[in-house]
Structure formats: structure tokens, C-alpha cells
Amino acid sequence: MTAFDYDLFVIGGGSGGVRAARVAAQAGVKVALAEESRYGGTCVIRGCVPKKLMVFASEFPGLMEEAREYGWGGQDGAFDWSKFRTRLEGELTRLETVYRGILKNNGVTTYDARARLIDAHTVELADGQQRRAKHILLATGGRPVRPDVPGAELGMVSDDVFQMTELPDSVLILGGGYIACEFACILNGLGVKTTLYYRGAQVLRGFDDEARGLVAEEMAQSGIDMHMGTNILAMKKSADGIRVKATNGTERVFGAVFFATGRVPNTEGLGLEALGVQVKRGGAVAVDAYSQTAVPSIYAVGDVTDRVNLTPVAIREGMAFVETVFKGKPTKPDHDLIPTAVFTQPEMGTVGLSEEAARALGPIEVYATSFRPMRTSFIGKAARVLMKLIVCAETRRVLGCHIVAPGAGEMIQMAGIAVKMGATKEQFDATCAVHPTMAEELVTMSKPVRVA
Ligand code: NDP
């Protein structure tokens, strides 16, 4: 048995893996990390970051229309996708360099290669080299899946969207989750005729009904052709695009089809089962509250564990792992009251329980107001926003906060602090309003709209 080459070997250079490697190295741990693709992972290279930049790009036509109504002159120009893409690629390369730099500057050895496990302490790289480590951290993330329909190979997934050489004239988006709704708004904003098929009754399943209802309504108002209770039966190539046969009895042709039908953990080919690392149905690595697998030397964080699949959560799981294993301070990552935002237009920001989930747990009061915000009502737009609090009738704690509004992502980060601290409705009310803002409604709603 050879000695260990490293104290820690991390597989995967995304948000969770890079953070764990860095903080471990800063604590004096000898660390190596293997990444087969680009450093930064899904979030930086093919997720949150390029997505948010596309959100910004897609908001300008609406802003220009508003500007004209406010009295500014000028005409809209055409959107130059290739100019945007070149700049985007430059930014992603810059960020990837930053990620590589973080590892290098902290003394982490990196291997630009796929890695798999040979035993509880041994990793084999794609070129056959083997390295031994006292601890191994799996941070291999996840990837988008395509539905099992004839012709599915003709469709794109989110990884492909950033690589498009030109924007299609029309797109069909399949799915009703974060990615489907965000990209429907982005592509619609960029001028692509956008249709969305979702198999369920309402998009954004699991979020507060009233909030997701308003997002769906605003999406439809902005011109997205929304079809609920609809799925794809088959797709085939046609002279003018992709012909899609759907469960609603229609056959339509779209320039592109985009599957946003969920993601699966990257666990294949890692050699996990043979080692005794338990893999759950759906492919996620099973871990305990400290992110430890059934093999004591192997831990896993981030999307590969399919707990809460968000970058900041993976980062916190990575840091808790380092506290637990290398700093002698057993730390469970806290998955309670995680604020999140869906970057639709308008955005939805949410923390805590939906009205429906809270209602099932005990008596609640619901405070909500939906109104036309000042900026766009001034120019006669019908767009509405929503501010909503779910309050426990007994403890008066705010159990949930749901915001649908431009900038809701920024607002919910702040409201999330109060909710996480256990603030009561009366403490919200004791906070002076910031006027005139949309979010001031969160501290001025005096009467519940429902008691349940
Ligand atoms: P989600 O799991 O959120 O949504 C998948 C959607 O596809 C659901 O509406 C689902 O329907 C539908 N679906 C699944 N399988 C099929 C099928 N075979 N045919 C038709 N429809 C199908 O996944 P996403 O891909 O949108 O996002 C993955 C995860 O990434 C999110 O859950 C989130 O954790 C993260 N993310 C976070 C973002 C953010 O923080 N802003 C942005 C983007 C992603 P049904 O509801 O019926 O199951």
C-alpha cells in the first residue's frame, strides 16, 4: 500500500469542488482537483452566469420601448447575436482563468482530465495515471436530459443554447421548470417567436401558486405562446425546421426545439457502485447530513447529490465538508430557508413555504398585494407585481415570502435574511418603508387577505 499523494482529491471543478479545494488548501491541506471540461462548471460556463448575461441582453427591447414612452427618441436596432456571443465567450474565458487562478494560487494541483475511482483512496485519470488520497470529494455536478421521444436528437438542451451560431426565428421550449421559464423569457425578449409546452397544469410546480400564476400570466402577456397540459409526441426534420407532433393534436414547425426537462447527476463511469458508494434511483450519490457517502473516505457535494441544486448551496456544502473533515468541526450544511430566484421577466424571488405548503402544516395568515408598479403604470402598461407574506397564526413568524417583480432576485436576498432570522410579521411592520419602492409593500400590508 503506497502512501497518499494528497490529503484530498476533488473530482469536478465546478462551484462546489473549487470552493472545497480552495478552502481546504488554505487550511494547509494538500489538495488535487481533476476537471475534464472547463473550470467553473455548469454555473460559470453553461448555466447561471451566461444565462444572466442573456437575461440582461433580452431586457433591452422592453426598456427601449419604455424609454420611448417616457419621451426618449430613437429607434430599436437589430440584436447582433454574434457580437453578444463573442463578448460572452470572452467573459467565460476570463472567469475560467479566474477559477484556474484560484486553485493555482492556493497550491491546488490540477489535472485537466476525467477521473474515476479505483478504490476508497485511489483515483485514476483518463491517461491511466493513478493518485492516492486520504479523502476523495465527488463534485461532478449534473447534466441536462432529453425526453425519450422520437426525433429527440434534433432538439437542444441548455448546454447548447449558448453555442448557437445564430438565433432561430422560432423556438419551442419543452418543460415548466426554472430553465424552461427563464429561457422562454430570454428568447422571447431577444425577438425569437417563443412557444412553451408544459405537461402539467401550471409552470413552476412547487412554487407558491399565486406567484407562479402571475409569472405565467406575465409570460403570456409578453407574447410567449404558453400551452399547458401539452407534451411532445414526436419530432422530425422538415424543409423549414423541426416538425413537432404534440399531445394536443397539433403538428407545428419550429426553427428550434429546446428541452428544459430536468437534469441528472453525473455519476456514470465513476466506478461508484463497485466501491460500495450508494447511488440512488435517478443517479444521485447518497450522502449523510455531513455529505459523507457509505465509503467513509469518500464525500460528495453539489448537484451530484441532488439535494438542493443551486450554486450557493453546493458552495456551502463544500465549505461544510472542509470544516467537518479538515478543521475538526463537524458541520452539516443548512438546507433550511434557502432564498432563490427564477430569472423570468418579471423575476420571482422566494424564500420559505408556499401558501399551499404552509396551510398543510397549521393555521396561517396570508398577506398579499398585487399592483401595477409605478415605472410601467406611468406609461399605461398593465404589468403587475406581487408581494406576499405567509405568516404563522400562532408564532407570528413569517414562514414564506414570495415576490414577483422586476428585481425580485435582489429583493429576496434581503428579505431572506429576516425570514432566516425568524422575523415575525410585527417585526416586518416595525421596519420603516423605503418610499417609493415596490418592496415597501412587504412592511405595510396591515390586513391578511386570507386566514386559513
Ligand atoms: P426542473 O426539474 O426544475 O424542471 C423540469 C421540467 O421539465 C418540469 O417542468 C418537468 O415537469 C418537465 N419534464 C420533465 N421530464 C419531462 C418529460 N419527459 N417530458 C416533458 N416534460 C418533462 O429542471 P430544470 O431543467 O428547469 O432545472 C434544473 C435545476 O437547475 C432546477 O431545479 C434548479 O435547481 C436549477 N436551476 C436553478 C436556476 C436558478 O436558481 N435561477 C436556474 C436554472 C436551473 P413536471 O413539473 O411535471 O415534473
Q: Which domain holds residue 30?
A: 6-144+264-326
- Three-class secondary structure of residue 252 per DSSP: strand
Closest by CA position to 117, among listed 259, 281, 300, 291:
300
User: Which domain-ending residue is among 246, 261, 276?
Assistant: 261
Residue whose Cα lies nearest atom 14 of ligand 1: it is: 261
User: Which domain-ending residue is among 206, 232, 261?
Assistant: 261
Q: For ligand 1, pick from 148, 179, 235 the residue to mutate: most ligand atoms within 8 Å of CB.
A: 179
- Please check whether residues 224 and 82 belong to one and the same domain: no
What number of other Cβ atoms are within 10 A of residue 320's Cβ? 22
Question: What's the whole-model pTM score?
Answer: 0.97
Question: Is-catalytic flag, 435?
Answer: yes
CATH code (residue 189):
3.50.50.60
CB neighbour class for 4 (10 Å; exposed up to 12, middle 13-18, buried from 19): middle
Closest by CA position to 362, among listed 401, 336, 337, 390:
390
- Residue 116 placed within a domain: yes
How many structural domains compose the chain? 3
Closest by CA position to 112, among listed 122, 99, 121:
99
Is 176's C-beta closer than 6 angstroms to any atom of ligand 1? yes
Alpha carbons 52 and 56: distance in angstroms, whole number: 6
Residues 228 and 202: beta-carbon distance below 8 Å: yes
H helices then E strands: how many in the chain? 13, 22
Alpha carbons 191 and 58: distance in angstroms, whole number: 8
pLDDT digit string (tens) for the chain, length 452 residues: 569 999 999 999 999 999 999 999 999 999 999 999 999 999 999 999 999 999 999 999 999 999 999 999 988 789 999 999 999 999 999 999 999 999 999 999 999 999 999 999 999 999 999 999 999 999 999 999 999 999 999 999 999 999 999 999 999 999 999 999 999 999 999 999 999 999 999 999 999 999 999 999 999 999 999 999 999 999 999 999 999 999 999 999 999 999 999 999 999 999 999 999 999 999 999 999 999 999 999 999 999 999 999 999 999 999 999 999 999 999 999 999 999 999 999 999 999 999 999 999 999 999 999 999 999 999 999 999 999 999 999 999 999 999 999 999 999 999 999 999 999 999 999 999 999 999 999 999 999 999 99
- Residue 236 placed within a domain: yes
User: Which domain-ending residue is among 219, 240, 261?
Assistant: 261
- Please check whether residues 117 and 237 belong to one and the same domain: no
- Please check whether residues 257 and 268 belong to one and the same domain: no
Residue whose Cα lies nearest atom 15 of ligand 1: it is: 261
- Please check whether residues 63 and 81 belong to one and the same domain: yes
- Please check whether residues 309 and 268 belong to one and the same domain: yes
